Structure 1
């Protein structure tokens, strides 16, 4: 019975988010009210807020899993693999697989959604908040699994998370400019290799 309830909650969660994003992409985030989202999803406004405490959560929750992703990569790396090498390999794999978090996904809805986040101040602010959370989680993972001193772990995490963001935004900007993901991929890989080489020069002794 509990499993059935959880599946029903998951379906409701997805239905509300899908309805919201469809409305936001059509009319603009600031032009759509939570009441309109509720009507489109055929639920009450109270139900919307039960699943999504803030309007911004209707969009950015889709990126929530990525907040702890760098930390998960570090914690699950194979024995003998340095944290920075694991993070580099993971980012390169994301480019290959067109993971939206790398900025290298040219599906129209992904591009439209990312563009909306970048161009809507409230959503962009929430995206930056995810970066803060990613830094904290990654710093903890480095400190706890790689014996990196706490301050060094925090500094390293800030560099890594900011590098991820910069690389992703460069890729996203290239796609918005009309490049296909497949055409951008070689340059995206070269940029990532260069960026991680610079990180290794500065942080390699520690991570």
Structure 2
């Protein structure tokens, strides 16, 4: 039974990857708006029903790369070291991901990643959907902060601020890389921006 379940899961992963690859290839060749879901399904050799079982919307065919990381911030808070503050853990994790060129930070110049960044930043529907995904991550973060002992109203406010800051940092990095700036060249500015942003989060914006 275990082997059968494992085989089933592997088949699901292969199907999901095939759909994603077909969609990305078509979107990069002709543009997001010029390709319909039915065509993606046909190229991936699945039904539209199957496609939507894996990807709830057309936008998710591209943005699952971000939605797969929806709970990352919440996970960091829950996994922080004993005695480490939630914000310090989030800052540390973001800086580490910048160094490791994690695509979710926007600071990755692998050709296939840059192509997706350009697709996203140049497509209003994808930009809007990305903001929605950020809101879902914000809610997960608020829950993790409450679990960490932050009062509910404060946790909601803190999560909103942290999510907004992360979104702006990622967008700035994506824009830079999509414009052709190498990740290594962008890295010092990305680190400086992140340090400044988390400092403001920890101390307040400094004006009334």
TM range (shorter): over 0.9
CA distance in 2, matches of 1:136, 1:163: 15
Cα offset, 1:188, TM superposition: 1.1
Instruction: Give the TM-score of the pair, scaled to structure 2.
Output: 0.92
Deviation per residue, 1:62-98 (Å, 9 max, x gap): 2112211100000111110000000000000010000
CA contact (8 A) 2:76 2:90 kept: yes
Structure 1 match to 2:140: 137
Hey, which bits of structure 1, 4+ residues long, moved more than 3 A? none
Specify the alignment match of 1:150 in structure 2: 152
**In 1, are the aligned partners of 2:121 and 2:175 still within 8 Å (CA)?**
no
Are the aligned partners of 2:117 and 2:178 in contact in 1 as well (CA < 8 Å)?
no
Once the two structures are superposed, residues 34-61 of structure 1 have per-residue CA deviations (whole angstroms, 9 ceiling, x without a partner) of 2211221122333222322322221111
Residue-by-residue CA offset, 1:177-200 (whole Å, 9 max, x unaligned): 332111111111111111111111
**TM-score (structure 1 length as normaliser):** 0.92
Q: Deviations over 1:78-125 (max 9, x none)?
A: 110000000000000010000111111111221221222222222222
2:90 is matched with which residue?
87
What's 2:186 paired with?
A: 184
Give the equivalent residue in structure 2 for 1:120: 123
Report the Cα offset of residue 27 of structure 1.
0.6
Task: Select 1:16's aligned residue among 16, 19, 41.
Answer: 19
Query: 2:173 touches 2:186 (CA, 8 Å); kept in 1?
Result: yes
How many residues are treated as equivalent by the alignment? 202
What whole-Å deviation, never above 9, does each CA across 1:7-52 have from its counterpart, x for those lacking one?
1111011101111111011111111112211221122333222322
Unaligned 5+ runs, structure 2:
none
Cα distance in 2, alignment partners of residues 57 and 172 from structure 1 = 18
Alignment RMSD (CA, Å): 1.4
Q: 1:110 aligns with which of 107, 110, 113?
A: 113
Q: Which moved more, 1:81-90 or 1:58-67?
A: 58-67
Unaligned runs of 5+ in 1: none
